[in-house]
């Protein structure tokens, strides 16, 4: 099988070695190497794949053999963080389980959510001449009052429009997320401009590029080496398959006009069908823990996208926002009110009752894992 040796970080420029995201990525890679070594001893040598192991510059351990596309998600599973008191955990768990057991209540709550109308809710800019072609789906557009605005002078199309919405949790000056569609071939430069201008260090991608023969997202990064998108040079530093459900890529991003450089990490979840939910909450919860471990301590938004920037994107944001609130000590969680809060900022977030139920189940599973991790 063909192996690809990614460009080493040192060859990309001296600035790259100092990016905070790179250090977090190194830590993830060390975990992966250690866990893979244990797995290899137990199961025998893995079959080599097209994805090469991370170079020794990303690990202070001996370099391992090329990674394999394993179906063993427990390789490097992040432990649940024990960051809530027992009484709060049991109260929240009881609330979630009651919703899941009471099917009539769940159905009525979803009906009420479907009837909810955000105010204001105009999307005139997204439907304007010149912007319509920048939307992947005509039904999922950013509100006029809540959209990311690009700097016109830096835009290749001399437009401030991109189909993306800032999602605020509590501080309007500091969005927690940017919810956006999967880039189209002619909006990739706009996407990287948004990444640059938002200071993003973490991208969460929740869709394969193609599903059942239908394109869900255009590839917005180089398959190997580097590619230039307008004034943004994107270098693929490394790519790692962690398990059959997700992989992690590290990028080195350079603004060729200013010569500034940054590093960022893309977490790509592969097993979430467009119109449905993952088969299990466990891989997504482990995926989320790894995202948050990489992101921890930063003040920039996390860019989250699927294909339409609505169903899977909204479900992930809902799960993450609720669990983050719990971690901060919030004792009463109203998941329906939280969904209304995010829908005030972008239409269509969480597209189906199944996705809403999956979010409830994921929160309940994570709370249960946290309770098990607490000292009894």
Query: Which member of 123, 243, 294, 306 is catalytic?
Result: 306
pLDDT tens-digit series, residues 84-120: 778 888 888 888 888 889 999 999 999 999 999 999 9
Residue 303 lies in a domain: yes
Where in the sequence is the domain holding 111, given as residue range(s)?
86-373
pLDDT single digits (tens) 242-292: 899 999 999 999 999 999 999 999 999 999 998 899 999 999 999 999 999
Would you call 223 exposed, middle or buried from its count of C-beta atoms within 10 A (0-12, 13-18, 19+)?
exposed
- CA distance linking residue 61 with residue 330, whole number of Å: 40
Instruction: Identify the H or E element spanning 263.
Output: strand 261-269
Residue keyed to tokens 């969904």 = 339
In a domain, 159, yes or no: yes
pLDDT in tens, 298-334: 889 999 999 999 999 999 999 999 999 988 888 788 8
Report d(CA 188, CA 253) in Å as an integer. Answer: 14
Residue 307 covered by a domain = yes
238, two tokens: 């490394």
Based on the structure, what is the number of domains in the chain? 1
Catalytic status, residue 306: yes
Residue 344 counted as domain residue: yes
- Write the CATH number for 312: 3.90.190.10
38: in domain: no
Query: What is the sign, positive or negative, of the torsion defined by CA atoms of 115, 118, 121, 126?
Result: negative
């Amino acid at each position: 099988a063909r192996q690809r040796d990614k460009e080493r970080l040192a060859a990309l420029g001296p600035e790259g070695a100092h990016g905070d995201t790179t250090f977090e990525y190194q830590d993830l890679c060390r975990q992966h190497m250690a866990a893979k070594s244990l797995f290899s001893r137990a199961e025998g040598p893995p079959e080599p794949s097209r994805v090469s192991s991370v170079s020794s510059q990303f690990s202070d351990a001996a370099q391992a053999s090329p990674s394999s596309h394993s179906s063993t998600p427990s390789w490097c599973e992040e432990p649940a963080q024990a960051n809530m008191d027992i009484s709060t955990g049991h109260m929240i768990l009881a609330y979630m389980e009651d919703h899941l057991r009471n099917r009539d209540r769940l159905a009525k709550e979803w009906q009420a959510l479907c009837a909810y109308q955000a105010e204001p809710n105009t999307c005139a800019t997204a439907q304007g001449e010149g912007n319509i072609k920048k939307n992947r789906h005509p039904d999922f557009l950013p509100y006029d009052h809540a959209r990311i605005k690009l700097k016109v002078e830096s835009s290749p199309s001399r437009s401030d429009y991109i189909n993306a919405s800032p999602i605020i949790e509590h501080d309007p000056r500091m969005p927690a997320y940017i919810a956006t569609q999967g880039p189209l071939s002619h909006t990739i430069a706009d996407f990287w401009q948004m990444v640059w201008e938002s200071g993003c260090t973490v991208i969460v991608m929740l869709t394969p590029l193609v599903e059942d023969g239908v394109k869900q997202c255009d590839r917005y990064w180089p398959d190997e080496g580097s590619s230039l998108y307008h004034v943004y040079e994107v270098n693929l530093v490394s790519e790692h398959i962690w398990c059959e459900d997700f992989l992690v890529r590290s990028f080195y991003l350079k603004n060729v006009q200013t010569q500034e450089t940054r590093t960022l990490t893309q977490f790509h979840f592969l097993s979430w069908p467009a119109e449905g939910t993952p088969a299990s909450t466990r891989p997504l919860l482990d995926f989320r823990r790894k995202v948050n471990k990489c992101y921890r301590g930063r003040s920039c938004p996390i860019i989250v996208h699927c294909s339409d920037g609505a169903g899977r994107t909204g479900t992930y944001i809902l799960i993450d926002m609720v669990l983050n609130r719990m971690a901060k000590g919030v004792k009463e969680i109203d998941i329906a009110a939280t969904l209304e809060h995010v829908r005030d900022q972008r239409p269509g977030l969480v597209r189906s009752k199944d996705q809403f139920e999956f979010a409830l189940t994921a929160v309940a599973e994570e709370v249960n894992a946290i309770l098990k991790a607490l000292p009894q």
